[in-house]
Structure 1
Amino acid sequence: NQKIFTVFSNPAGLEKIKDALRHGGHKLPSPTHLVVEMKQES
């Protein structure tokens, strides 16, 4: 359960980021799991 990629973005780019990470995960030699955490700026 180690984080390999961490991405910060605004909510408008969320779908493109998820798609890019999903496609990039296919190139890794082990199974991947995508977790989206929404954090608000203070």
Structure 2
Amino acid sequence: MDKLLFEKHLEEGYGSGVVKQLSIDLKNQFPDMGLSPRNL
């Protein structure tokens, strides 16, 4: 992950898909953990 969730939030604000993108990033690094946006 290039940026921390906090940094993404500051740049993009609420409701911009930060959690969804974080989920995608985490799934790429940890494919067996079930890291969906809802689980985060």
**Shorter-chain TM-score: which interval?**
0.3 to 0.5
Higher helix content, 1 or 2 = 2
TM-score by length of 1: 0.38
Q: Which has the higher contact order (CA 8 A, sep 6+)?
A: 2
